[in-house]
Chains A and B, each alone.
Chain A
């Protein structure tokens, strides 16, 4: 198997505050990794480090076998951030335009081709929002909007989907449908890294878990995580564990 992400003894601090300490982990092709931990535990920072949005103070990170700072195949990563997007709520952009952005990294300065447009159509269809393509993205419900961002990632033909709490503010029904979609994408061979505050959802869906609270408390398959006491350790006695049964 090939490693998609490889982190070795990675440490990162915001000024004096250490957010991630001495974390080593490997994500293999085809993994569905759930990244869990209490609020402020450094989950998002860890994800940003993997994607090269922050540079580590110490340690080494490789993305698709390349040092992350030299990585230039941006189209291989589909990224859905915590607030989905900073401007999606106000900016006049159609769903199709947003999904088409997934092709921009590949196209560079050249014009988009018919192939690009066909791939965008396919991505819209895969996530089931073809009928919404010409709507403004801020007219969509939370669940529909998240599907649009996934479609953008699919349009870039990404090998790695990085999702930071993608279902915040999404109703339960859409959320289930959304995770079913992730499952089927993972079955198609796309590697997924998911940050999710709802531990129940993660343990139901992910096949591997990384549990972090500044340091890595567990990294391995989901069964061993459920049986271990990593969760109690990471969350401590004061931490609140969100558990959700299906």
Chain B
């Protein structure tokens, strides 16, 4: 395939992804505002369109707002996660996502404890987000102190926060009611509450905006941190920004993929894209397209087989990765990312 065709196809893919994302954002916004006159009518039209889609496709998916909500959250995570993941993978920080997911799990546990012992009845996702961001800042602090993203501080953070989470949950067993920890560990399409999907929507828009604004700086510190320091970029600030964005994406993605699988969305589409992309901009574009392919393919597989979406998305993503390796070795320009 020549360069122009390839670029055109990528643009087309990105445009379709953008349209899909806008439609999903619109759905979530309408669901939120459906009490209001015009929004209510539009929201009804959305669900009617979903029912027609079900009728023509012979499915029973799109007519249910909770399914649409899950798919919307998946589509948005499928954009934000590979976007942030592209920088993480090439900074060799692939496991940061996994670590912060475990920190977020501790956040869920702390939220449960908090709501069981006080009058507070906010969302557990809020405590997960707060604790994950604090965890991100702590990892960043440790990395600055030890002068590298060594895997030792990461392993300590990962296991340590999970240990705290399990202790709190064991301590409160019987006291915490109405929450399935399994849903947080393994993810679930059915569990995503409206507020969870709205959180994903807001976080995705924020992450896309921040990356669009700081694309150049993040690229420079990823490619050559020392030269970026000499060019007087505030490397510590951009590193902190990147890791906080990771925490934010992880909390969004955790609802669908579960704590244990969340890193997959940050890493696998990027690994696949890096196999065949010719430059960084193309890597970003392909990561998003592959992430989107994994989410949509994973949902289709999960729904048709009655399986959980988390595992399905990851398996489809790995399928894409293997195809990318095949494609790159065929074109004779195989470049291992290690």
Contacts and interface: CB of A to CB of B under 8 A. Distances in A.
Pairing of A with B: yes
Interface of A: 51-53, 71-75, 77, 79-81, 85-88, 90-94, 96-98, 101, 104-105, 107, 109, 112, 134-136, 138-139, 152, 156, 162
Interface in B289-338: 333, 335, 337-338
A91 B233 contact: no
Contact of A92 (B214, B232, B282): B282
Contacts of A92: 273-274, 277-280, 282-283, 335
B227 A90 contact: no
Contacts of B3: 134
A101 B219 contact: yes
Interface of B: 3, 90-91, 213-214, 216-217, 219-220, 222-227, 229-233, 273-274, 277-283, 333, 335, 337-338
A136 B335 contact: yes
Contacts of A93: 219, 223, 279-280
B165 to A, nearest CB: 34
A136 B223 contact: no
Contacts of A105: 231-233
A77 B230 contact: yes
A151 to B, nearest CB: 13
Main secondary structure of the interface of B (DSSP, over half): helix
A81 B220 CA distance: 14
A91 B274 CA distance: 8
Contact of A86 (B217, B225, B231, B278): B225
Nearest to B335: A138
Contacts, number: 100
Contacts of A91: 90, 222-223, 274, 280
A74 B224 CA distance: 14
Given A74-B230, A74-B231, A104-B217, A134 B278 contact: yes
A22 to B, nearest CB: 25
Contacts of B283: 92
Given A101-B220, A139-B333, A73 B232 contact: yes
| Residue of B227, B230, B232, B277 most packed against chain A (CB within 10 A) | B227
A159 B219 CA distance: 24
B247 to A, nearest CB: 23
A159 to B, nearest CB: 13
Given A74-B230, A74-B232, A136-B335, A85 B224 contact: yes
Contacts of A96: 279
B94 to A, nearest CB: 13
A145 B221 CA distance: 18
Contacts of A139: 333, 335
Given A134-B278, A136-B279, A81 B337 contact: no
Given A109-B213, A136-B279, A53 B224 contact: no
A218 B219 CA distance: 40
A87 B230 contact: no
Contacts of B274: 91-92
A112 B90 CA distance: 23
